[in-house]
Structure 1
Amino acid sequence: MSLTAPRTISIPVAGSTLLEVDHLTVTFPTSSGPVEVVKDASFRVESGDTLGIVGESGSGKSMTSLAIMGLLPRGGTATGSIRLNGHELLGRSDREMRRVRGDKVAMVFQDPLSSLNPYYTVGLQIEEAYRAHNGGSRRDARRVTIEALERVRIADASRRVDHYPHQFSGGMRQRIMIAMALCLEPDLLIADEPTTALDVTVQAQILELLADLQRETGTGMIFITHDLAVVSQVAQDVLVMKDGEQVEAGTAEQVFSNPRAAYTRALLAALPRIDDPFDELKGTSR
């Protein structure tokens, strides 16, 4: 992956550039005037690689992902450029963006329970998502759905495909959301805090699963989190955001070994030391 920050950081482009974001600014109107929640962000994502976007709540990382998806809340506007496989996304109609979402870009959210409809089986929900983008018969969609559930390691998938969301654990529901996203074979997967609500053991399983699926499919990924320890496990490159601004960008090795921004150094200082006796219990050692 290659990453380019708008000011002082430049990493040489290598491989096939999947996503190019240049000078992205997201603005919302308020009673006291326009407020920029993302300010002049620029980065690249290469096919098969992962970019980790890190920052506290309100840093602008999730708004960046929603701008890419064309899903900004009402009143929000995005300027700059977002190019996927060389095609500009900003300025496209809602109808055009609906074709992009799922087919070219898919998203996995933090809370799978709120993303799944409790009144329908998980199989039906995956089938409908698949048919909405690929057509085909219900029989074909069911076959793809079962294969997708098996792919994310849901045991006895042919039976559990007819179960409802509440019949699965939190970790299993997150696997189902990943299966739904990947059955559409997107070029880019955006994972927005996908492991935050999970315990450490399940979190490790989800991270391993995403890495395995990415190696199999070559899908590029943006992994959004507030947790630098998680990013160190999954990302080749890291973008650090604070108050809507891009404060640091570079390879994971550069950011972790030689952080330039004071904010990044503060985030790293908050991590337990590798020789901390509580590291193993906390599950955050790198």
Structure 2
Amino acid sequence: MSEHIEKTPTGSFRARRRQADATPSDAPLLSVRDLTVTFPTSSGNTDVVKKISFQVERNRTVGIVGESGSGKSMTSLAIMGLLPSNGVTQGSIALGGRELLGLPEREYRKIRGERMAMVFQDPLSSLNPYYTVGLQIEEAYRTHRGGTRKAARQVVVEALERVQIKDAARRVDHYPHQFSGGMRQRIMIAMALCLEPDLLIADEPTTALDVTVQAQILSLLKTLQKETGMGMVFITHDLAVVSQVADDVLVMRNGDPVEFGTAEEIFSNPRDPYTRALLDALPRIDDPFEELGVARDGGVR
């Protein structure tokens, strides 16, 4: 892929693809059609994802929601080409009109950094405790972009500043344990976005965070999306979070697609009983205390 480095108005260096490599204007950024993921078991093959279909456009977010075991994370791993070797994927996954299923691993690996990236649920397990955060982001950047370590370090510092880590030039040499959980998640976002991917997949990125830090991370993701125009797939079991970030929503249950529509349609007029049940389970500020499981004396029943 032909690339060059250019300086943006903000002063940061961004790796941009030449016009010949741009996504065709008539193709969605991401198109998933009839995606099925199968694993062998002692009792035969089991479909853990069953004919999932959805599209992601630039500057829009698709929220994938469902209970644990519904197939959300398997869907994201299939898109990223990170399924275990015994998994079988069928259907179609196209990025900018280019089919990804069937690509050699070397080509997929190149796309999996330059065109799409992923933020995982637990940043502490995703970061290597033996290396500084700066070195880890630098390694990800140089693997795809090359260049000198000095130039890569500048990109890393700017990436950390972009996700609002204060004193980034100094903290780039700190280790993961020297950051809070919220800061570590910001580091993972910086690592994912330093290559300016077209698509970001965020798999439960706020689950382990308290509500204040969670709100900050969600706001950060929305701000970065506005700045870059990236498409985003946001995976969560929390409908309240989906309502804050998603333009479109896919509801999954036991690997099956239950319902897909705009966030407004899903939240105001859900068609499927399962979706309605998920929405009914959300606590509302106007619910009686008894329905929330809270006694009137303030205790929890």
Superposition TM-score, scaled by structure 2 size? 0.86
Residue type of the partner of 1:133?
A: H
Whole-Å separation in 1 of the counterparts to 2:170 and 2:286 = 45
Residue type of the partner of 2:165?
A: I
Residue type of the partner of 2:167?
A: D
Unaligned runs of 5+ in 2: 1-24, 293-301
1:1-286 to 2 correspondence within 5 Å?
A: 17-276=28-287
Whole-Å separation in 2 of the counterparts to 1:266 and 1:15 = 37
SS at match of 1:250: strand
- Distance verdict in 2 for CA 1:90–1:15, change over 3 Å: closer
SS at match of 1:184: coil
Give structure 1 regions of 4+ aligned residues with deviation exceeding 3 angstroms: 276-279
Unaligned runs of 5+ in 1: 1-13, 280-286
Whole-Å separation in 2 of the counterparts to 1:141 and 1:263 = 48
- Distance verdict in 2 for CA 1:246–1:187, change over 3 Å: same
Checking the alignment, whether the CA contact within 8 Å between 1:238 and 1:250 is kept in structure 2 is yes
Q: How many residues align?
A: 266
Whole-Å separation in 1 of the counterparts to 2:80 and 2:285 = 37
Checking the alignment, whether the CA contact within 8 Å between 1:55 and 1:61 is kept in structure 2 is yes
Moved more, 93-102 or 218-227: 93-102
Residue type of the partner of 1:247?
A: V
SS at match of 1:107: strand
Residue type of the partner of 2:284?
A: R
Residue type of the partner of 1:40?
A: K
Residue type of the partner of 2:37?
A: V
Checking the alignment, whether the CA contact within 8 Å between 2:27 and 2:97 is kept in structure 1 is no
Whole-Å separation in 2 of the counterparts to 1:16 and 1:121 = 39
In the other structure, the counterpart of 2:7 is none
Percent same amino acid among aligned pairs? 76
Whole-Å separation in 2 of the counterparts to 1:142 and 1:206 = 24
Residue type of the partner of 2:168?
A: A
Whole-Å separation in 1 of the counterparts to 2:270 and 2:279 = 9
Checking the alignment, whether the CA contact within 8 Å between 2:159 and 2:193 is kept in structure 1 is yes
Superposition TM-score, scaled by structure 1 size? 0.91
Shift of residue 74, structure 1, vs aligned partner: 2.4
Q: What value does the CA root-mean-square deviation take over the aligned residues?
A: 1.4
Checking the alignment, whether the CA contact within 8 Å between 1:15 and 1:47 is kept in structure 2 is no
In the other structure, the counterpart of 1:9 is none
Whole-Å separation in 1 of the counterparts to 2:41 and 2:237 = 26
Point out the structure with max Rg over C-alpha.
2
Checking the alignment, whether the CA contact within 8 Å between 1:15 and 1:46 is kept in structure 2 is no
In the other structure, the counterpart of 2:21 is none
